[in-house]
Structure 1
Amino acid sequence: MGAMAEDHLPFPPAPTIEVCYRHPGVQTRVHCTRCDRPICPDCMIPAPVGHQCPECVEQARRDFRSGPGRALRGGVSATNALLVAIAIPFVIEVILGGPQALFSPSAEILFDMGAMQPIAVADGQFWRLFTAMFLHAGLLHVALNAYFFWLFGRMVEASFGRTWMVLIYVVAGFLASVASYAFGPVTTLAVGASGAISGVFGAFIAYNYRRRQHAMNAANLRLALTVIVLNAVIAIGYSSIDWRAHVGGLVAGFALGYLADSSGPARQRAVVRFAGVATLVVIGIALVLWRTAEIRSAFPQFFG
C-alpha cells in the first residue's frame, strides 16, 4: 500500500503591521483619508469622511486663509461669491437689452459683453476665453447653471478650501473655453458657466474617486455617473449645447481635483500641485496659439 501524501494547507499571510507616521512606536490600521498615511488615535482628526492627519488639516486651513480665501472675509464662501459674479453680468444683460433679454439676450449684447467668438479671439481678444464663463443666454440658462454650481460647489469647497475652489473654477473655465475655441466651429458664439461648473464637477469626481472604498464616496460616484449620462442625453437632443466646453471643463476639473488632493509631504505636494496646474495652463495656451494660427490662415480676410 502506497504512502499517503501529506496535504499542505496554505496559511494566510501575516497581516501587515503599520505604524503611525508621526509616532513610529504606535501600531495602527487607520489611514488619513486625504494623504493615505497611517495615523494613530492621537493624530486622528475627524473629517467629513473618516479621519485626517494634522498636516493635511493644517494645509487645508492654510488653503482656506490664503489667496482668494483671505480676501473673502466675514465667512463669505467662494461658491457664493462666484454665484454673485455669475448673476451680476446677467443683470447687466437685461438692463442693456430690455425685458426680452431676460429670456433671450441678443447676440450683439452677448458679443459686446465678452462672449467667446473664435474669429474675435483669433484677432487678439483672448480675454473672451475668460469673460464668456460669466455670461448667460437667458434666465433658464443662468438659473440651471447657478443651481448646479450651488449644489456641487459647496461640497468641492468644503473638500478643498476656498482658494482651490476659485482656482478650479477659473482654470477649468479657461480650459473649457479653450476646448470650444480649439475644436468648435468658427461660427460659435459661446457663453455660460457650464464649462467651469463641469470643472467643479470633475473635481468632485476626483475627490470621491480617491475615496471610493467608502460607501458614501462610492454613492457620490454613482450620482456623478448618472449626472454625466443625463447631460450626454441632453447634449444629444440640443445642438446648441457646447459639449466640447463641457468635456474640456470636466477633464480639467478632474485633473485639478486630483492635484488638490495629492498625497505626500507638504513640500512635495506643493511642487506637484504647482507643476500640474502650470502644465494644464501651458497646454491651454498651446492650443490657443495653434487654433489662432489655423483660423488666421484659413480666414485671412478677417484680419488686417
Structure 2
Amino acid sequence: MEQAVCCYRHQDRETGVRCSRCERPICPECMVSASVGFQCPECVGQARPERQAQRPRTMTGGAVAANPRLITMILIGINVAVFLAVQAVGDSLVQDLILYGAWPPVDPTSGVAEGQWYRLLTATFLHQNVMHIGFNMLSLWWIGPGLEVALGRVRFLAVYLLSALGGSALSFLLANPNAGSLGASGAVFGLLGATFVLMRRLRYDSRPIVAIIVLNLFFTFAQTGTIDWRAHIGGLVTGAVVAFGMVHAPRERRALVQWGTCVAVAVVIVALVVVGTYRINH
C-alpha cells in the first residue's frame, strides 16, 4: 500500500500537490499561486528579494518611485519655508543669504569672495514677494513632476541644484555688485532646458517647450532692470547640459557618464566663481 504524502508544514494533512520550485508537498493552506503551479511560503519568501532587485527603472536608470512628486514638493516646501522665515525675521536674513555680483570689481560685499560660497545656493531659495515666489513655485510644480518621473529622484535633484548653482555662478561673475540676485528662476530655467533635451531624446514634439523658453527669455531681456538674465541663461544652459549627459549616456557606462557630466559641470561652476573672486581681490 502506497504511503500517504503529507504537507511538509502540516504533517496531519494529506496532499497531492508539490511546490513547483522545491517540490516539497504543500496543503491548500500553504499553496501560493505562482506563474507556473504553486509554491510553498519559503520559496515565495526567497524569491521576493529577487523580484525587488528587478524593480522597473526610468530611462536614465533611476528607480521608479511610488510618489513621482516627492522631490518637487520638498523643493517647493523649502522655498516657501524660507520665504516665511524672511517675513518673520526681516531683511536681515535676506542680507545674510543673498548673492551680489563681481562686475565691475569692487571691494567684496557679498561674502562669496570671502569664502561664503553658500550664498550661491541660499540665494536661489530667496524671493522678493508673493508674486515672485508664486510664479516660480507654479512653474516648478508644472515642470518638476514630469522630469522627476523621467529622470528619477536623485538625477532630478542633481539637475535642479546644478542649474541653480550654474545660474548663480554666471550671475556672480557678470552681475553688478550693487544689485542682489535671488530667486529660484535659474533652477526653473534649468528644468526647462532639461525638458527640451528630454523631449528631443524621446522624439516628442519639442515646439511647445521651445515656445515657452523663448517667451520667458523675451520677458527676461525686456525687464533686465528687475530680472537677472545671467541667472536665467546660466540655469538654462546648465540644465540642458546635465540633462544631455543623463539621457544620452550609453547603458553600459551609464552611471560613469551621468555623474561624470555632473562633476564636469560642477568644476565649471567652481571655475566661474574662482574667476569672479580673483577679479574682486585683484
| TM over 0.5, shorter chain | yes
Contact 1:111 1:117 in 2 (8 A): no
**What is the match of residue 268 of structure 2?**
283
**Alignment of 1:166 onto 2:149:** no
1:18-59 per-residue CA deviation (whole Å, 9 max, x = no partner) reads xxxxxxxxxxxxxxxxxxxxxxxxxxxxxxxxxxxxx99436
**What is the match of residue 143 of structure 2?**
152
Query: Aligned-pair distance for 1:75?
Result: 7.1
1:204-234 per-residue CA deviation (whole Å, 9 max, x = no partner) reads 111001223xxxx21xx21122112221221
CA gap 1:273/1:90 in 2 versus in 1, 3 angstroms = same
**What is the match of residue 135 of structure 1?**
126
**What is the match of residue 256 of structure 1?**
242
Secondary structure of 1:273's aligned partner:
helix
**Alignment of 1:89 onto 2:72:** no
CA distance in 2, matches of 1:160, 1:56: 15
Contact 2:100 2:176 in 1 (8 A): no
**What is the match of residue 116 of structure 1?**
99
**Alignment of 1:198 onto 2:181:** no
In the superposition, the TM-score normalised over structure 1's length comes to 0.67
> Which letter maps to 1:64?
A
CA distance in 2, matches of 1:172, 1:282: 13
CA distance in 1, matches of 2:193, 2:124: 16
Query: Aligned-pair distance for 1:92?
Result: 0.5
CA gap 1:77/1:60 in 2 versus in 1, 3 angstroms = farther
Secondary structure of 2:165's aligned partner:
helix
CA gap 1:62/1:270 in 2 versus in 1, 3 angstroms = closer
Query: Aligned-pair distance for 1:64?
Result: 3.0
CA distance in 2, matches of 1:200, 1:248: 12
Secondary structure of 1:82's aligned partner:
helix
Secondary structure of 1:58's aligned partner:
coil
**What is the match of residue 80 of structure 1?**
73
Contact 2:98 2:122 in 1 (8 A): yes
**Alignment of 1:293 onto 2:278:** yes
> Which letter maps to 2:216?
N
Secondary structure of 1:124's aligned partner:
coil
Tell me how many residue pairs correspond in the alignment. 220
Contact 1:133 1:191 in 2 (8 A): yes
> Which letter maps to 1:83?
I
CA distance in 2, matches of 1:75, 1:232: 28
In the superposition, the TM-score normalised over structure 2's length comes to 0.72
**Percent identity between the aligned chains?**
28
**Alignment of 1:233 onto 2:257:** no
**What is the match of residue 245 of structure 1?**
231
Contact 1:64 1:163 in 2 (8 A): no
1:270-304 per-residue CA deviation (whole Å, 9 max, x = no partner) reads 1111221111111111111111010112xxxxxxx
Contact 2:190 2:238 in 1 (8 A): yes
Structure 1 unpaired stretches of 5+: 1-54, 98-105, 298-304
**Alignment of 1:180 onto 2:171:** yes
1:156-179 per-residue CA deviation (whole Å, 9 max, x = no partner) reads 111111111111111111111001
CA distance in 2, matches of 1:236, 1:246: 10
> Which letter maps to 1:117?
Y
**Alignment of 1:126 onto 2:117:** yes
Structure showing greater Rg:
2
Query: Aligned-pair distance for 1:243?
Result: 0.7
Contact 1:93 1:109 in 2 (8 A): yes
**What is the match of residue 251 of structure 2?**
265
Secondary structure of 1:206's aligned partner:
helix
Query: Aligned-pair distance for 1:61?
Result: 9.2
CA distance in 2, matches of 1:154, 1:76: 5
Query: Aligned-pair distance for 1:74?
Result: 7.3
**What is the match of residue 301 of structure 1?**
none
CA distance in 2, matches of 1:254, 1:74: 25
